[in-house]
Amino acid sequence: MAEPVVKYKNVTKSFGEVDVLKGINLDIAPAEKIALIGPSGSGKTTIIRLLMTLEEPTSGIIEVNSQNLWQMEKKGKMVRANEKHLRQIRGDIGMVFQHFNLFPHMTILENCMTGPIHVKGQSKEEARKNAIEMLEKVGLGDKVDNFPNQLSGGQKQRVAMARALVMRPKVMLFDEVTSALDPELVGEVLEVIREIAKEGEMAMILVTHEMDFARDVADRIIFLEDGVISEQGTPEEVLGNT
């Protein structure tokens, strides 16, 4: 098997006295699509926040592209990773949140240009061209000059996806991206994710309650219960053929 793009080795996370993750071991292969499923409070968001380096693990190791997120080797000795090192690793990770998190004062085109310009150092022209291409791909080519508040929830979520994708991440994280949407808007967002997943090369972690969607898109389904992986396998293995 190819070297995993993401690796959790015996990862625990406690908030004070509360042990939220109790020893997570998880290897994600390049291009692998993972659905993370579990009851509220089981630790799904925490697993994702650790990978985004929004939280630090209590113990264990998390690697992206074989690079330790929290420590690095310097002259044969492990030291805490610095901000510059973290920024560089984080560049490989894209995320879409439940609540869009778009910049309200920017047009949707500008929302999709700012990361490539300021983080990737692309020229304005290059960033504009790539952003338009990606917005067309998510079906919003006619909305590029609109502001977020002029869009429906489903359209906002598709902008959020385009904004993450223009960064060309190696891993995309989707944290319950449809749970804040009106039911009639869920389908269009799931459809875009299906399309992205089919293109292949990116790994994805999808936190979702949509079982049919998980079955369609995921190579592997992982059930989390009370901070441990309780079951995992292909959709056929864990959900059967019905």
Q: Please give the residue ranges that form the binding site for ligand ADP (CB under 6 A).
A: 15, 18, 20, 38, 40-46
d(CA 182, CA 186): 7
d(CA 166, CA 241): 36
DSSP E strands in the chain: the ranges are: 6-15, 18-28, 33-37, 59-64, 67-68, 71-74, 77-80, 93-96, 171-175, 203-207, 220-225, 228-233
Q: Which is nearer to ligand ADP, 44 or 143 (CB)?
A: 44
Which residue number, 45 or 130, has a Cβ lying nearer to ligand ADP? Answer: 45
Q: Which one, 1 or 18, has the nearer CB to ligand ADP?
A: 18
Q: Considering the complex, what minimum distance in angstroms separates the CB of residue 47 from ligand ADP?
A: 7
Beta carbon nearer to ligand ADP, 95 or 131: 95
Question: Buried b vs exposed e over 9-41: b needs ≥16 C-beta within 10 Å?
Answer: bebebeeeeeebbeebebebbbbbbbbbbbeee
Task: Tell me the closest approach of the beta carbon of residue 32 to ligand ADP, in angstroms.
Answer: 21
Exposure string over 85-119, b if 16+ CB within 10 A, otherwise e: bbeebbbbbbbbbbebebeeeebbbbbbbbbbbee
CB of 2 to ligand ADP, least distance (A): 29
Q: Compute the least distance from the CB of residue 96 to ligand ADP, in Å.
A: 12
For residue 207, the minimal CB distance to ligand ADP (Å) is: 7
Residue 196 neighbours by CB distance under 10 Å = 20
Per the CB < 8 A criterion, the answer to whether 96 and 164 are in contact is yes
28 or 166: whose CB is closer to ligand ADP?
28
Residue 54 or 79: the one with the smaller Cβ distance to ligand ADP is 54
- The least distance separating ligand ADP from the CB of residue 38, rounded to whole angstroms, comes to 6
